[in-house]
């Protein structure tokens, strides 16, 4: 019975097992999450262990959710960490969250989930080691303690702020192998006691979050346990700085103090000097520093600075530090920095930045020059933009303004530098440009108005304009020069001239007679020259006098002064047929006793017959007329000179010169009445006979003024050669009067001349009938008065009031 039962059970079991084996498939087993670890920073992986898979291929999926969120994520990476694992990379690792992870196994029959696993990421991530481990030994009362200090690892994420680190410290002497580990707790410092003096110890520390793993050990720090009594360690000089280039400070760092209180002294010496000084001020700049004030600061000298640490056991000096103050200047930042936003209308808004240089810096004297740099960054931006501020020294004011065009500016540190640069060539450039401009303008002007400019600079030679002879000049008695200027030196005579010449010769002959006659009466003089001149002048006498003119009685020959008269031919033309001539005698006051021959400048006679070149004729004629006059004078020995033929000529020449001189001086002497002594004027009057003969030829005769007596208020005595005339005396008012106007004609021989109201010096004189040689002799003309007297003997004054008379009008009177 039992056997049957057992076999049936076996058969049943076998059948079910077979069935199970044959079909084998069933629900998968429940997987189990084994562990989650963080192998790398910010990543972690989870592994699971599959349950029974029910002989069917099973798919495993890992689902997780964060914190208490509803959303379910699937594992991002099934492969990286190996089979049956899920790798969470950086993106999927959030340190602040707790992951709720489940693994689900799935096969044909169904699926099966594991129990949920809560994973706090922070707990599974291995923290970093603690940092900044520092060791310090403190010896007191012969006991040396080692103080170790450190800092927690820098937490990149703030998630660990509510996690507390636990620390562990371990140490061992240098030579030994085994570490001694101490659990520190949550503090970041620890005192290690019971250390063997004189040994060198190494110390390490590690940390752990309360739920996580231990970090790695920090790097080992070593420290020497002092023996309890040893000299201090060598201090080191950190840096020396000068904020304003007038003082400077040095700082040092002390070494181990060797267990005893240590004193630090700073010693320095200057370049080139032997003496060693001690720091003048240990306090102003703080502990472990030395402040050199103005008195102790020298520039351009190298300081040799050392720091000595002294304690009971001994002393130790630092390495020497060489410093030249000029190169260690580091100014303070600028002060009073203000930033303003300006929004002008129609323009972009801009910022105005103002600041002041640091207070200590002495920029005023130029000892320190500062350069500024600006750093700015838009608010959202990352990078700082640095701008160097180009402030030229010349534009440097104590208040600096700088315009910034930006959207957002965040100000930060400012840095001061030294130095500036000034360049100035602008002045020379401006000068060069201006001068070239001026040159251009001038050349342009020259081109445009060149003609005018040249004309302005070099006036063109005026064309010849012969207007005639100026009355004034003629009256002034400078006819000589005028005529000479007229250039009547022997111009070729025309056919007309021949007649004239002939007539002229006629006159001359008759004149000669008179000359001889008068010669007796005249004074001996120097006539030789005159004669020669006379003869010379004969040839030159080919004047183109027209017959009509020659026939005129009142032909005037005038030697004109140097002044070329601008006188009007017209005027002469205006008068009756313009046939006028006049005889002008130059009355020159000279030292000679003889009558000065003054040739006043008067109008030139015009010879209208010559239609061609009347002016030239006029001039020529005047000159010739002059010569004729002279010759006649010479002949007469009278018109000019008193009875002295020789003198005539000589005097003519001399008087000519004198006349010229006198004429020139006349103007000066015009008003000199006082000095004028009796100026004798002799006027010789030609014989009427001669004149009548002349009249045929219409030659004007001339009269010589004999004498002018000043005291009698201008008495002019006219001398008539024939001694027919009377002599009447008229006083001449003023010596320098010219008598160019004829007032009346008295008798037939006497011509009364009067001073021309226009010309003040027209004398009034009468033609004497007699010869007044004696008076002439008496009269000495001392001064240089000269004036010309027109002496138309037979001329009547014109009714028109002109100075010159128309000889033709007189013709009948004589005849």
Partner 1 sequence: CHTSRMPTPKGKELAQNLPREELTHLILKLLQAWKEPLSHFNQHIEHHQELSDDSLSKAKQISNMVHELKTGVEKVTEKARFSINSLNGMASSEAAGLSISNEANLMSDSDFIHCFRRDSNKVQSYLKILKCKIMPENSC
Residues at the interface with partner 1 (CB under 8 A): 245-246, 272, 294, 297-301, 324, 326, 362-367, 369, 391-397, 420
Q: Rounding to the nearest 10 degrees, give the CA dihedral for residues 359, 362, 365, 368.
A: -130
Q: Which is nearer to partner 1, 428 or 456 (CB)?
A: 428
Q: How far apart are CA 36 and CA 124, in angstroms?
A: 7
In the complex with partner 1, which residue's Cβ is closer, 12 or 360? 360
Closest CA to 43 of 96, 94, 101, 102: 94
Closest contact distance (angstroms) between CB of 273 and partner 1 is: 12
Least distance (Å) between residue 388 CB and partner 1: 17
Least CB distance from residue 337 to partner 1, whole Å? 20
Element containing residue 788 per DSSP (H, E):
strand 786-790
Q: Which of helix, strand or coil describes residue 139?
A: strand
- 83-87 LR contacts (CB < 8 Å, sep 24+): 84/31, 84/47, 84/48, 84/49, 84/50, 84/60, 85/45, 85/46, 85/47, 85/48, 86/45, 86/46, 86/62, 87/43, 87/45
**Could you tell me which residues come within 8 angstroms of residue 317 by beta carbon, excluding any fewer than 6 positions away?**
234, 306, 307, 308, 309
Rounded to an integer, what distance in angstroms lies between the CA atom of residue 78 and that of residue 47?
A: 10
Q: Which is nearer to partner 1, 324 or 661 (CB)?
A: 324
Kindly tell me which of 254 and 280 has the beta carbon lying closer to partner 1. Answer: 280
Tokens encoding 94: 């959030």
CA distance 59 to 112: 10
Chain-centre distance of CA 499, in angstroms? 81
Helix (H) or strand (E) holding 73: strand 73-74
Residue 299 or 384 with smaller CB distance to partner 1: 299
Query: Shortest distance, CB of residue 296 to partner 1, whole angstroms?
Result: 10
Structure-block tokens of residue 328: 């260690």
In the complex, minimum distance from the CB of residue 247 to partner 1, in angstroms, rounded to a whole number: 11
Rounded to the nearest whole angstrom, what is the least distance from the CB of residue 410 to partner 1 in the complex?
A: 29
Nearer to partner 1, 367 or 444 (CB): 367
Nearer to partner 1, 3 or 365 (CB): 365
Distance CA 135, CA 139 (A): 13
Q: Which helix (H) or strand (E) holds 117?
A: strand 117-120
Nearer to partner 1 among residue 108 and residue 362 (C-beta): 362
Handedness of CA 297, 303, 304, 309 (dihedral sign): positive
Closest distance of CB 386 from partner 1, Å: 23
Comparing CB distances to partner 1, the nearer of 272 and 801 is 272
Q: Please state, in angstroms and rounded to a whole number, the distance separating the CA atoms of residues 557 and 566.
A: 17
What is the closest distance, in whole angstroms, from the C-beta atom of residue 155 to partner 1 in the complex? 50
| Minimum distance of partner 1 from residue 80's CB (angstroms) | 55
Cα–Cα distance for residue pair 789/27, rounded to 1 Å? 172
Q: Which two tokens stand for residue 647?
A: 């003198």
Q: Which residue, 362 or 711, has its beta carbon nearer to partner 1?
A: 362
Distance of closest approach, residue 242 Cβ to partner 1, in angstroms: 12
**Tokens of residue 124, six digits:** 């599974």
């Amino acid at each position: 019975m039992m056997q049957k039962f057992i076999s049936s059970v076996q058969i049943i079991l076998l059948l079910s097992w077979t069935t199970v084996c044959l079909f084998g498939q069933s629900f998968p087993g429940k997987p189990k999450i084994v562990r989650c670890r963080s192998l790398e920073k910010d990543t972690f992986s989870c592994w699971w262990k599959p349950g029974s898979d029910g002989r069917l291929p099973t798919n495993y999926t890992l689902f997780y959710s964060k914190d208490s969120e509803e959303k379910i994520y699937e594992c991002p990476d099934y492969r990286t960490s190996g089979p049956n694992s899920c790798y969470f990379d950086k993106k999927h690792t959030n340190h602040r969250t707790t992951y709720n992870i489940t693994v689900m196994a799935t096969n044909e029959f169904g699926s099966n989930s594991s129990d949920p696993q809560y994973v706090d990421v922070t707990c599974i991530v291995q923290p970093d080691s603690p940092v900044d481990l520092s060791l310090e030994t403190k010896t007191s009362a012969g006991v040396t303690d080692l103080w170790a200090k450190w800092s927690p690892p820098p937490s990149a994420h703030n998630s660990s702020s509510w996690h507390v680190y636990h620390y562990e410290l371990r140490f061992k002497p240098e030579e030994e192998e085994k570490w001694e580990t101490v659990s520190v707790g949550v503090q970041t410092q620890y005192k290690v006691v019971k250390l063997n003096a004189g040994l060198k110890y190494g110390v390490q520390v590690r940390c752990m979050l309360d739920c996580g793993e231990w970090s790695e050990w920090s790097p080992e720090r070593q420290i020497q346990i002092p023996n309890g009594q040893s000299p201090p360690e060598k201090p080191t000089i950190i840096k020396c700085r000068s904020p304003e280039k007038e003082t400077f400070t040095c700082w040092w760092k002390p070494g181990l103090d060797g267990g005893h209180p240590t004193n630090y002294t700073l010693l320095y010496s200057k370049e080139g000097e032997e003496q060693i000084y001690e720091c003048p001020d240990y306090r102003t700049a703080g502990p472990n520093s030395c402040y050199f004030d103005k008195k102790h600061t020298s520039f351009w000298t190298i300081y040799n600075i050392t720091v000595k640490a002294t304690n009971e056991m001994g002393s130790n000096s630092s390495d020497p530090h060489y410093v030249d103050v000029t190169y260690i200047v580091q100014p303070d930042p600028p002060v009073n920095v203000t930033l303003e936003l300006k929004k002008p209308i129609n323009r972009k808004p801009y910022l105005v930045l103002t600041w002041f240089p640091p207070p200590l810096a002495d920029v005023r004297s130029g000892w320190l020059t500062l350069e500024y740099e600006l750093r700015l960054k838009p608010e959202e931006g990352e990078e700082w933009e640095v701008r160097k501020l180009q402030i030229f020294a010349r534009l440097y004011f104590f208040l600096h303004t700088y315009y910034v065009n930006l959207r957002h500016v965040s100000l930060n540190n400012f840095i001061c530098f030294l130095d500036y640069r000034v360049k100035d060539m602008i002045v020379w450039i401006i000068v060069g440009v201006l001068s070239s401009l001026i040159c251009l303008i001038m050349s342009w002007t020259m081109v445009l108005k060149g003609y005018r400019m040249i004309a302005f600079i070099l006036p063109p030679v005026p064309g010849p304009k012969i207007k005639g002879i100026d009355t004034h000049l003629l009256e002034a008695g400078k006819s000589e020069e005028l005529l000479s200027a007229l250039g009547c030196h022997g111009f070729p005579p025309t056919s007309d001239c021949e007649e004239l010449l002939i007539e002229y010769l006629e006159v001359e002959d008759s004149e000669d007679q008179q000359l001889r006659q008068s010669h007796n009466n005249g004074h001996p003089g120097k006539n030789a020259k005159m004669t020669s001149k006379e003869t010379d002048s004969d040839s030159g006498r080919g004047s183109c006098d027209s017959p009509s003119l020659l026939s005129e009685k009142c032909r005037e020959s005038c030697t004109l002064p140097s002044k070329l008269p601008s006188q009007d031919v017209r005027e002469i033309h205006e008068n009756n047929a313009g046939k006028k001539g006049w005889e002008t005698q130059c009355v020159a006051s000279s030292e000679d006793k003889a009558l000065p021959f003054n040739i006043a400048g008067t109008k030139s006679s015009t010879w209208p017959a010559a239609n061609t070149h009347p002016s030239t004729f006029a001039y020529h004629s005047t000159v010739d007329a002059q010569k004729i006059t002279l010759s006649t004078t010479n002949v007469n020995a009278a018109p000019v000179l008193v009875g002295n033929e020789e003198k005539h000529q000589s005097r003519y020449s001399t008087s000519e010169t004198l006349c010229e001189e006198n004429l020139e001086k006349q103007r000066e002497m015009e008003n000199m009445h006082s000095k004028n002594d009796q100026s004798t004027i002799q006027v010789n009057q030609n014989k009427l006979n001669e004149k009548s003969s002349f009249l045929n030829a219409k030659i004007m005769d001339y009269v010589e003024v004999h004498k002018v007596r000043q005291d009698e208020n201008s008495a002019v005595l006219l001398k008539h050669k024939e001694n027919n005339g009377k002599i009447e005396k008229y006083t001449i008012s003023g010596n320098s009067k010219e008598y160019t106007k004829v007032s009346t004609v008295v008798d037939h021989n006497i011509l009364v001349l009067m001073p021309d109201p226009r010309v003040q010096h027209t004398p009034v004189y009468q033609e004497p009938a007699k010869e007044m040689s004696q008076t002439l002799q008496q009269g000495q003309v001392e001064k240089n008065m000269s004036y010309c007297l027109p002496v138309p003997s037979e001329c009547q004054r014109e009714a028109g009031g002109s100075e010159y008379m128309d000889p033709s009008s007189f013709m009948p009177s004589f005849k």
